[in-house]
Structure 1
Amino acid sequence: MSIKGVCIICLLFLFSQLHAQDSLQVYRKLEQIRHLPSDTAKVSAFLKEGKSNAKYFDKQKIENIFWQEGLTLAHQLRFHKGVAAIYNETGTNKRNKSLYLLAEDLHEKALKAAEEAKDTQLIVFALNNVGVDCRRQDKLQKAFDYHVKALKLAESIGDIRNICVATNSIGNIQLSTELYDEAISHFEKAQALEEKSNNPLGVAINLGNLGYAYQGKHKLDLAIQYYKRSLAVNQKLDNPTGMAICYNALGDAYKEKKDYAQAMECLQKALEANGKVDDKVHVAESYLNIGKLLGAEGKHEEGRKYIQQSMEVSTFWGFKSMLLEAWKALAQDYKTSGDFKRSLEAADKSLLYKDSILDEKSAMAIAQMQAIYEVDRKDNHIRILEHDKLVNDLRTKRNVIITFLLAGFLLMAVVGGILYIRHRNLESKKQTLQLELKSLRSQMNPHFIFNSLSSIHRYIWSNNQEEASDYLTKFSRLMRLILDNTQHTFVTLNKELESLKLYLDLESLRCNGIFECRFLIDTNINEEEVLIPPMILQPYVENAIWHGLVHKQPSEKGLLDIEILLMKRSLICTITDNGIGRKKAMEIKERKGRVHNSVGMKVTEGRIDLIRKINNKEANVTITDLEDEMGNPTGTRVSIILPAEFVF
């Protein structure tokens, strides 16, 4: 085996080793990301590593697996920003491979995701990307519409970078349609923004674009000035691609001015600059431009050599479009020199390449449509999976909710049943207590009437008939009030006080005015709104008069104070007398041989006890014997606490 063969084998082995090492690193990183928690941070990691390893996947001519898995996860998480970002990167990657149709579809998907995310900056970025894709396919009106939308949105949020991109792209569209003045206006705006943003590359591009626009208007000197300014910026940036473009543009402008010497100098410099550019298509273009220039000068043989060099470079690298242009140029050169046979042969060759390019474009379009179909199919599959997952989640949630509702319903039914039974028992008990209370109330009427008739009998025997008649009139009024009030569980305080005052008037007449009665009503009490059980105070007032005040010495004036207060939710009624006290009253009863308990007091105490049970609120009676400092009785105080009730 020759040394050359050994060297080739060694190089191939080394290349395979390097490739294997790169593959190992890429897939190791992929496994690391796969083990991360499935959240938005994981999507960002997929996106970042996809960018870092894009060249590796391009060389292998396989899809970027980082972006594929990141996109799937972003869809599952409904992370619209992540979906938009990955579609933007994937679309730009396809555009760089001249797969413009596929790039347009991906960037439109990025736009839709950005709109769902409601992220204006992402929307602007996607709009500009779709616009560029359309412009590369000569869909100029569609591209123009996308860039105008992007420009308006970018201006609304002050996104200078995207304002520059949109403005420059609009200018390029107008340049393609020969609207040179409008194009110049947009390029000047873009250049001013790039200068303000301190972006020299953007400045160089817009200066070059202004040169193309002025050349289109046949203002060649002005165009050359802009080309030179763009060249100066590219030289400062040490940008060989930019310098080659500028030198080619200058060569074309000088050629149009028929300044062939300057044109040749510029094209030679373009060829030199292109030697530093990785993409050799620019070298082939420079050779072709020099050949055309020499042909225009009448130097056909020399010109054909440069065209032939362009063909050699294009054939080696497979630049079919450049070969098409070279054969066309060669056909034109032969035609100009009068060699029609060779001109026809060259034209036939150019047509072959034209057909080949068209076939390739058709095949590429079909491949891109297939790729779009595959992307859509994957997206639809992801959406179906998401939908199924959502349905399952909703079904699970529904089942959980139904379970909780049933459990809650059963619990409520049990609790409700217990409460209903308890309520029914309480109602039954309450009805029993109310019947007892009604029975006790009904006992008050005969008791009071009996006592009153006894008083009338004594009063008639001890007084004249006229006073007895007056007494009976007041008594009948009192009976009417009492009979009316005792029909109700509660009466208003003013009605109860009215009957009590009428009763005290009768007792005062009967006792010849031996006592004085005073009413002390709380100012916070509205007598027409506060309710009180009827005949609840009368027995205690009667007891104070007949067992305390009537036994006082004639020289001592009897006092009876009736005080009613409202404290929080309780009505406090206090009856105070300055009589002889309960101890002496009991002694007097024993001497007279009439020891018995008051029926009215017993009935009233029973009523108050039932009121407490029915309302489950504080209700009681407290009797206090009053004494002076020497321990002598000075009267009695009865305190009755009742639950406060109101009309409203």
Structure 2
Amino acid sequence: MSIKGVCIICLLFLSYNLWAQDSLQVYRQLEQIRSMRPDTAKLSAYLKAGRSNSRYFDQQKQENLFWQEGLLLAHQLHYPKGVAVLYNEIGTSKRNKSLYLIAEDFHEKALKAAEDAKDTLQIVIALNNVGVDCRRQDKLQKAFDYHVRALKLAEQIGDIRNICIATNSIGNIQLSTERYDEAIEHFNKALALEEKSNNPLGMAINLGNLGYAYQSKKKLDLAIQYFKRSLAVNQQLNNPTGMAVCYNALGAAYKEKKEYDHAMVYLQKALEANEKVEDKVHVAESYLNIGKLLGAQGKHEEARKYMQQSIEVSTFWGFKSMLMDAWKGLAEDYKAAGDFKRSLEAADKSLLYKDSILDEKASMAITQMQAIYEVDRKDNQIRALEHDKIINNLRTRRNVIITFFLGAFLLMGFIGGFWYIRHRNLEAKKQTLQLELKSLRSQMNPHFIFNSLSSIHRYIWSNNQEEASDYLTKFSRLMRLILDNTQHTFVTLNKELESLKLYLDLESLRCNGIFECRFFIDAGINEEEVLIPPMILQPYVENAIWHGLVHKQPTEKGLLDIEMLLEKRSLICTITDNGIGRKKAMEIKERKGKAHTSVGMKVTEGRIDLIRKINNKEATVTVTDLEDEQGNATGTQVTIVLPAEFVF
């Protein structure tokens, strides 16, 4: 086997491996999306994956499976906006393959779905898409009407991108219908918008369009100025396709001015630029344009060489339209040189390609009509299946209901009575628990008032009258808050924290500032929406101060940290002090001979137990002794877990 043959086999093998890897990746992604829940998130995943893999499906000449399955899901979800977006994507994909009739059908379906969704942006996008489809099929009046509608709606919602598209398209239609002044007006409007939006590609396109409009009006110098401005922008963008278009346009304009040297310079530049363009039809076009220019100068032998090169490139790549034009150009050149026999032969070949193109267009139109028919038939089948499915489900449901009622009628009395008695007992139990909880909650008022009055008494005897008055003012504010809050089963977190901070201010004054309190509230907590039982934290805060922090050495600063976290459906409140710890506190208590049990702690524990029983949710209190590495007490941590309740 030759080296060339081995190289070809290696390339084929490498191409196959790359294709296999791409296929595996695409289908893995497809299976992953299929496993998702059928909702709008899944639909978005289908849409995104369809866009990223569109080139793969185009290369395989297959329908985009992501978009096909996404479209089916959008119909099942009765989500018209999703239907509109997917129809727009599929239609644009068909237009890029020159299937304009099918593209128009899909974009019209997208328009209907967008109107059903009452989504103005999607309506504008669909209108512009249908307009472009119609313009490509030379349905100029229909295209004009669609773009005018799109322009009006885009201006209403201020969508600059679609305003530019509609304005530019209207200008192109007017250019095609020889309404040059109106076309120039629209191109200038589009150009101004593109400059405002800082979109250089749009600027280049509209500058080129203005050049074509002025060229049509025989204002060649002005046309050349616009072509050069468009060329400058394309050069900044390093856009070889745009540069080649501008070079060709400049060559044609200078040829029309009979400045053949300038024309040749730009056409040669177009040929060089087209070498960097993936679509080789532009290379064939450049050869043909140079050939025609040489023919116009009477350089027939040289002209035919370039035209022959155009024919060779077009034959290799199968560009039938370019072959038709090249043979036609060759026929005209032979005729100009007086070689009528060869001119007739070239003209016959041009006509053969013209007939072939017409046959292909007719065949393609029939194929597209059949494709549209098949798509519509499948859509109707889907609707029919959905309708039959709904009817069958209703029938099945009706039969199940009838069977259930017939079979369960004798048991309903017994079951109903049983559930009624059970419900009544549960309600009675719940009311009992709520009354008990209310009773416990009401016990907090005299308990707290007693402790606070005792503090005031000690404070008055140990401080001056002015400070005692200030203390009493703060105490009265605190009493009002507590009396208001304890009228309710739950209060907002900001109200509870307000009363707790006021209480801590009083205790700090009373203890001569021996401790500092810090609050840490989770950023995800909205204090005005989260609810908490009133006075649920105060007993634990009080316990931390009077059994932990007041016994610290005077040289050590007491710290009390109160932290609030929201995890799933639980509110976690953590109270941490750096006091002497529970063990030392008990020793001090025993030494002083005090056998007093904290009423506040006992009542609060009872409240939390009742909250757990009533709500049937987690509600716990955990006390942790904090120690250092040597086992010495460094404080106490109380963690209170309550069911999260919200205002809404």
- The TM-score normalised by the length of structure 2 is 0.62
Q: Match for residue 274 of structure 2?
A: 274
State the one-letter code of the partner of 1:17: N
Deviation of the 1:398 alpha carbon? 6.0
Alignment match, 1:177? 177
2:27 equivalent to 1:23: no
* Superimposed CA distance per residue, residues 280-332 of structure 1 (whole angstroms, 9 cap, x where no aligned partner): 00010000000000000111110110000101110010000000000000000
**Does 1:242 pair with 2:212?**
no
Partner of 1:14: 14
> Which residue number corresponds to residue 332 of structure 1?
332
Q: Work out whether residues 154 and 162 of structure 1, in 8 Å CA contact, stay in contact via their aligned partners in 2.
A: yes
Q: Which letter maps to 2:21?
A: Q
CA distance in 2, matches of 1:192, 1:207: 10
Whole-Å separation in 2 of the counterparts to 1:195 and 1:406 = 75
Give 1:232-631 correspondences, 5 Å limit: 232-395=232-395
Q: Distance in 2 between matches of 1:199 and 1:102?
A: 30
* CA offset digits 1:393-414 (Å, max 9, x no partner): 5556667888999999999999
The structure-2 alpha-carbon separation of the partners of 1:386 and 1:288, relative to structure 1 and needing over 3 Å to count, comes to: same
Aligned-partner SS, 1:246: helix
CA contact (8 A) 1:75 1:382 kept: no
Q: Deviations over 1:36-77 (max 9, x none)?
A: 111111111111111111111111111111111111111111
1:63 maps to what in 2?
A: 63
Q: What RMSD over aligned residues (CA atoms) do the two structures have, in Å? A: 2.2
Deviation string 1:220-262 (CA, Å, 9 cap, x unpaired) is 0000000000000000011000000001000000000000000
Partner of 2:189: 189
* Runs of 4 or more above 3 Å deviation: 392-414
Provide the rounded CA distance (Å) in 1 between the counterparts of 2:347 and 2:258.
27
CA–CA separation in structure 2 for the residues paired with 1:328 and 1:33? 53
- Residue 388 of structure 1 deviates from its aligned partner by 2.1
Cα distance in 2, alignment partners of residues 213 and 327 from structure 1: 28
Q: Residue 146 of structure 2 aligns with which residue? A: 146
- Over 3 Å counting, the alpha-carbon distance change for 1:9 and 1:407 in structure 2 is closer
TM-fit CA distance, 1:366: 1.4
Q: Separation in 2 of the partners of 1:201 and 1:404?
A: 68
- Residue 567 of structure 1 corresponds to which residue in structure 2? none
Structure 1 residue 391, shift from structure 2 partner: 2.9
Cα pair distance change 1:322/1:395, threshold 3 Å: same
> How many residue pairs get matched?
414
Measured at CA, do residues 194 and 394 of structure 1 come closer, stay the same or move farther in structure 2, by a change above 3 Å?
Answer: farther
Residues of 2 paired with 1:196 and 1:396: CA distance? 62
Equivalents in 1 of 2:328, 2:406: separation in Å?
Answer: 84
Match of 1:109, SS?
helix
Q: CA deviation at 1:392?
A: 3.8
C-alpha distance in 2 between matches for 1:37 and 1:31: 12
CA distance in 2 between counterparts of 1:255 and 1:391 reads 71
Distance 1:296 1:405 in 2: 94
The residue aligned with 2:563 is none
Question: Which residue is 1:115 aligned to?
Answer: 115
Contact 1:274 1:280 in 2 (8 A): yes
Matched letter for residue 129 of structure 2: N
**1:76–1:382 contact (8 Å) kept in structure 2:** no
| Distance in 1 between residues matched to 2:257 and 2:378, nearest whole Å | 56
Deviation (angstroms), 1:82: 1.2
How is 1:25-40 mapped onto 2 (pairs within 5 angstroms)?
25-40=25-40
Counterpart of 1:103 in structure 2 is: 103
Are residues 247 and 398 of structure 1, via their aligned partners in 2, closer, same or farther at CA, if it must alter by over 3 Å? same
Please state if 1:47 is matched with 2:42: no
Instruction: Confirm or deny: 8 A CA contact 1:204 1:231 kept in the other structure.
Output: yes
How far the C-alpha of 1:381 sits from its partner, in A, is 1.3
Within a 5 Å distance, the mapping from 1:61-100 to structure 2 comes to 61-100=61-100
State the 1:208 CA deviation.
0.3
The change in CA–CA distance for 1:192 and 1:412 in structure 2 (over 3 A counts) is same
Q: Secondary structure at the match of 1:262?
A: helix
* Inter-partner Cα distance in structure 2 for 1:396 and 1:145: 49
Shift of 1:13: 1.0
- Which letter maps to 1:37? R
Q: Which amino acid aligns with 1:284?
A: A
Q: Which runs of 5+ in 1 are unaligned?
A: 415-648
Instruction: Give the deviation of 1:390 after TM superposition.
Output: 3.0
Aligned to 2:229: 229
Secondary structure, aligned partner of 1:78? coil
* Residues 263-291 of structure 1: per-residue CA shift (max 9 Å, x gap): 00010111111111000000100000000
Bigger drift between 383-392 and 225-234 goes to 383-392
User: In the aligned structure 2, how far is the partner of 1:157 from the partner of 1:251?
Assistant: 41
TM-score (norm 1): 0.62
Q: What is the one-letter code of the residue matched to 1:266? A: Y
Shift of 1:92: 0.6
Following superposition, the deviation at residue 9 of structure 1 comes to 1.0
Cα shift at 1:367? 1.3
1:559 maps to which residue?
Answer: none
